[in-house]
Amino acid sequence: MKITLFGTPESVYTRIARLILEAKKRPYGFVLADVFEDRVPADYAVRHPFRRIPSIEIDGINLYETDAIAHYLEAVCPLPAMLPDDPLEAARMRQIMRVIDAYGYRALVWNVYVPQWWRGGTPPEPEALAAGLQVLQALDALMTPVFRASPPTLGWCYLAAVLAVADSVAPGAGLIDQVPLMRSWWNGIRECPLMIATRSDESLY
Ligand SMILES: N[C@@H](CCC(=O)N[C@@H](CS)C(=O)NCC(=O)O)C(=O)O
């Protein structure tokens, strides 16, 4: 199977795809597609009509949207299984992924991490901190005992990639501190081999 991933090492969604590929021990090529710096392959609009990252090519098939990439990889590279068998566990995990897509990525990455890191240390707005905390609390409520104890699942990869970024700036770390069970889960996995293997050289996460 020939796999090529397009993205940047610092991107949260690109890292989710990398975490899954690494967990499944699938070798893959990596092509820089830096949509933020306008350094993308000439054909990137064909790979991703909305010019986001990542996109992936698997044996000539082009896919974009991380949820679709994750589930396709799970189907074509089934080992190790990264979807729970139990229907309710699978639904809770899927809720975590959807909450991150719909609410968490913007609240935690763009509204807490980006002002602090990219915009010269501007503290996030109080409303942004409140919204970030609300997302973390909602995610914490979806983390079942099985999820907290399990090896990496698709939802694990989503949550780990987002928490890594949030925890890399003081305001985000302060939010995670306010959700003690999540803090303890995150501290237990943040230095695991999978996280280290997918850490960008240039970022702090
Ligand atoms: N729904 C997309 C979201 C991907 C996404 O937003 N990626 C970010 C980088 S982590 C991006 O491309 N941002 C560029 C932009 O917002 O213009 C997915 O699940 O793949």
Phi-psi group of 25: left, alpha or beta (phi > 0 → left; psi -120 to 50 → alpha; rest → beta): left
Q: pLDDT per position in the chain (205 positions), as tens?
A: 999 999 999 999 999 999 999 999 999 999 999 999 999 999 999 999 999 999 999 999 999 999 999 999 999 999 999 999 999 999 999 999 999 999 999 999 999 999 888 777 888 999 999 999 999 999 999 999 999 999 999 999 999 999 999 999 999 999 999 999 999 999 999 999 999 999 987 777 8
For residues 58 and 1, the answer to whether their CB atoms sit within 8 Å is yes
| Residue position matching structure tokens 């501190």 | 177
- Ligand 1 centre and the CA of 9: distance in Å? 13
pTM, entire model: 0.97
**What atom in ligand 1 is closest to the CA of residue 51?**
12
> For residue 11, which atom of ligand 1 is closest to its CA?
10
Best of 12, 13, 108 to mutate for ligand 1, by most ligand atoms within 8 A of CB?
Answer: 13
Read off the tokens for 38. Answer: 């306008």
Give the angle 8-13-16 at the CA atoms, nearest 5°: 105
Pairing of strands 29-32, 3-7: parallel
- Taken in order of first residue, the domains within the chain and their CATH numbers are 3-76 (3.40.30.10), 87-197 (1.20.1050.10)
Ligand 1 site, residue 34, Cβ cutoff 6 A: no
Any atom of ligand 1 within 6 Å of the Cβ of 11: yes
35 ligand 1 Cβ < 6 A: yes
Query: Quick one: pLDDT at residue 137?
Result: 98
| Atom in ligand 1 nearest the alpha carbon of residue 52 | 12
Report which residue type is found at 113: Y
Ligand 1 geometric centre to CA of 147 (Å):
25
User: Given this model, what pLDDT does residue 7 score?
Assistant: 98
